[in-house]
Amino acid sequence: MDSKLIAPSVLAADFANLQRDVEMINESEADWFHIDIMDGVFVPNISFGMPVLRDIVKHAKKTIDVHLMIVEPDRYIKTFADLGSDILTVHYEACTHLHRTLQAIKAEGMKAGVAINPHTNVSLLEDTIKDIDLVCVMSVNPGFGGQSFIENTYKKVKQLKEIITKNNASTRIEIDGGVTDKNAKKLIDAGADVLVAGSFVFKSDDPKQTIRNLKNSIL
Ligand code: DX5
Ligand code: ZN
């Protein structure tokens, strides 16, 4: 997998100026929109839901990467497909029948992603790796933006990359949480393909320039 991607997390946008921030991402060198959906049950926070995603999709001109931090994600697969999600990521820890969930996501025409919490060992994905388009390695505990990066992530990325290579799979590795210019290159060198960045982009003085710098740093 050669092209390395940046996915700004809309969770860190200014929701009172959401269209402005969506247009900023459109005009930037970002590759995907990362959309965090939280239910207040799987994670101790509630972000936003379908009506907000619908309006984001209306203006967004890039791939819509939806990260579901919810219990029973199967109930909403069709809804998120209809809303225009290109990639739908569910949590390993929220799925009793992960293989079935992955097939259901693909049957709706989306790419299937699996997110793993910091405590979840990557080896648990070995038996489904060929069915997974994207593994989202959580580098913070999910639920909030602006947390510090967990250093153990590098080791997980390397182990996951080995599993992908060994199985001749085309799975991409995404890193989510605490990504900055301090760890971006090191994550790519460890085997990551997609970097999600929320606070680092949106809390900077010039988000578009920050995206450009991040992108250049991982080329
Ligand atoms: C955390 C979310 C992340 C979050 C990242 O639960 O899944 O996508 O928005 O935010 P930063 O980059 O601020 O850690
Ligand atoms: Zn996320």
Residue 197, token pair as written in the block? 């960045």
Q: Mean pLDDT throughout 102-106?
A: 98
* ipTM computed for the complex: 0.99
Q: What residues flank ion ligand 2 with Cβ within 5 A?
A: 36, 67, 176
The ligand 1 atom nearest the CA atom of 115: 7
CATH number of 5-217: 3.20.20.70
Q: Is the CB of 91 inside a 6 Å radius of any atom of ligand 1?
A: no
90-96: Cβ within 8 A, 24+ apart = 90/114, 90/115, 91/42, 91/115, 91/116, 91/117, 91/142, 92/116, 92/117, 92/120, 92/124, 92/125, 93/42, 93/117, 93/120, 94/42, 94/68, 94/70
Residue 1 in this model has a pLDDT that exceeds 60:
no
State the amino acid at position 177 in one-letter form: G
- Model confidence over 8-47: pLDDT tens digits? 999 999 999 999 999 999 999 999 999 999 999 999 999 9
- Model confidence over 160-200: pLDDT tens digits? 999 999 999 999 999 999 999 999 999 999 999 999 999 99
- Model confidence over 65-98: pLDDT tens digits? 999 999 999 999 999 999 999 999 999 999 999 9
Q: Where are the domains positioned within the chain? A: 5-217
In the residue annotation, 36 being an active-site residue is answered as yes
